Amino acid sequence: MAPRMKAGIDAHVHLWDRAVDPQDWIDAETMVPIARDFGARDLSDMLASTGLGGAVVVQSSNSLDESIRLAGLDSSAIAGLVAWVDLAAEVGPQLDRIRENAAVPVVGVRHLAHIDPDPEWMTREEISAGLEVLEREDLCFDLVVREWQLPQATSLAARHSGLRFVLDHLGGPPGPGQDRSTWASRLRELAGRPNVVAKVSGLTSGLTPGSWRAADLAAPVTTALDSFGPERLLYGSDWPLAELGGGAAPWKSALENLLDGLSAPERARVFGGNAADVYSLS
What is the CATH number for 244?
Answer: 3.20.20.140
What DSSP line would sit under the chain, residue for residue?
------SSEEEEE--B-TTTS--TT--TTT-GGGSS-B-HHHHHHHHHHHT-SEEEEE-SSS-HHHHHHHHT---TTEEEEEE---TTS-HHHHHHHHHTT-SS-EEEEEE-GGG-S-TTGGG-HHHHHHHHHHHHTT-EEEE---GGGHHHHHHHHHHTTTS-EEEGGGG----TTS--HHHHHHHHHHHTSTTEEEEE--SSTTS-TTS--GGGGHHHHHHHHHHH-GGGEEE---BTGGGGGT-HHHHHHHHHHHTTTS-HHHHHIIIIIHHHHHTT--
The CA distances from residue 221 to 13, 62, 169, in Å, are 19, 29, 11
User: Per-residue pLDDT tens for 153-180?
Assistant: 999 999 999 999 999 999 999 998 899 9
User: Per-residue pLDDT tens for 225-270?
Assistant: 999 999 999 999 999 999 999 999 999 999 999 999 999 999 999 9
Residue 215 has pLDDT above 50, yes or no: yes
Confidence of residue 4 (pLDDT cuts 50, 70, 90): very low
Considering the domain boundaries, does residue 1 fall inside one? no
Q: Region 40-46: what's the mean pLDDT?
A: 98
Range of the domain at 107: 9-278
Considering the domain boundaries, does residue 237 fall inside one? yes
Considering the domain boundaries, does residue 2 fall inside one? no
Considering the domain boundaries, does residue 84 fall inside one? yes
Confidence of residue 3 (pLDDT cuts 50, 70, 90): very low
The number of distinct structural domains making up the chain is 1
The per-residue pLDDT for 243 is 97
User: Per-residue pLDDT tens for 79-113?
Assistant: 999 999 999 999 999 999 999 999 999 999 999 99
Confidence of residue 1 (pLDDT cuts 50, 70, 90): very low
The per-residue pLDDT for 72 is 97
Considering the domain boundaries, does residue 132 fall inside one? yes
Considering the domain boundaries, does residue 4 fall inside one? no
Considering the domain boundaries, does residue 150 fall inside one? yes
Contacts of residue 229, Cβ cutoff 8 Å, sequence gap at least 6: none
Cα end-to-end distance, the chain, whole Å: 13
- Residues counted in the chain: 282
Q: What is the pTM of this model?
A: 0.96
Considering the domain boundaries, does residue 45 fall inside one? yes
Walk across the sheet containing 140-143 and list its strands.
9-13, 54-58, 78-83, 106-111, 140-143, 165-167, 196-200, 233-235
The per-residue pLDDT for 106 is 98
Confidence of residue 6 (pLDDT cuts 50, 70, 90): very low
Q: Which of 166, 190, 206, 172 is nearest to 56 (CA)?
A: 166
The rounded mean pLDDT for the chain is: 95
